[in-house]
Amino acid sequence: MVGSETTNLLRQKILKILGFLILIRLGLYIPVPNIDLDIFSQNQVSNPLFGFAKNLTGSSFLAVGSLGILPYINSSIVIQLLTPVIPSLERLQKEEGELGRQQISRYTRYLTFGWAVILSSGIAFFLVKPIVFNWSLTLALKIIVALTTGSMLSMWFAELITNENLGNGSSMIIFINIIGSIPTNFNEFVKELNSTSSINSILTTAFIFLIYLGIVCMIVLVQESYKKINIVSARQLNFNSTEKSTQGSELKNSYIPIKLNQGGIMPLVFSTTIATLLFYPLQVLLTGIFSSMGIPLTSFLTILSFFLNLVLVIFFSSFYALIVLKPKDLSENLTKMAYSIPGFKQGKETTRYLEQIISRLAFMGGIFLAFLALFPFVLSNLFHFNVFKNLTSLVILVGVITDVSSQIRGYLVTQNYENF
Q: Can you spell out the DSSP letters for 158-191?
A: HHHHHHTTSS-HHHHHHHHHHHHHHHHHHHHHHH
Write down the CATH number for the domain with range 226-389: 1.10.3370.10
The predicted model gives 228-240 an average pLDDT of 73
pLDDT at 365 over 60: yes
- The H helix count followed by the E strand count for the chain is 16, 4
Residues of the chain with CATH 1.10.3370.10: 1-195, 226-389
Q: What is the pLDDT of residues 34-53, one digit of tens each?
A: 665 555 555 554 454 455 45
Q: What's the pLDDT at 3?
A: 55
DSSP secondary structure code for residue 32 in this structure: P
pLDDT at 113 over 90: yes
pLDDT at 297 over 70: no
pLDDT at 92 over 50: yes
Q: 1-195, what's its fold?
A: Preprotein translocase SecY subunit (1.10.3370)
Question: Which three-class secondary structure state does DSSP give residue 342?
Answer: coil
Question: Which three-class secondary structure state does DSSP give residue 58?
Answer: coil
Kindly provide the residue ranges of all beta strands, DSSP E only, lying in 237-381, ordered along the sequence: 255-259, 339-340
Rounded CA-CA distance 331/328 in Å is: 5
Half-sphere exposure of 415 (CA within 13 A, CB side): 15
Q: What's the pLDDT at 248?
A: 47
Asked if 394 and 153 touch (Cβ cutoff 8 Å), the reply is no
Which of 58-62, 74-78, 140-144, 254-258 has maximum average pLDDT? 140-144
Lowest average pLDDT, out of 41-45, 86-90, 175-179, goes to 41-45
Rounded CA-CA distance 73/55 in Å is: 14
Mean pLDDT of the chain: 77
Lowest average pLDDT, out of 55-59, 110-114, 148-152, goes to 55-59
C-alpha dihedral over 48, 185, 70, 43, to 10 degrees?
A: 40
pLDDT at 97 over 60: yes
Q: What's the pLDDT at 156?
A: 93
Q: What's the pLDDT at 247?
A: 47
Signed CA dihedral, 288, 293, 297, 300: sign only: negative
pLDDT band at 245 (very low <50, low <70, confident <90, very high): very low
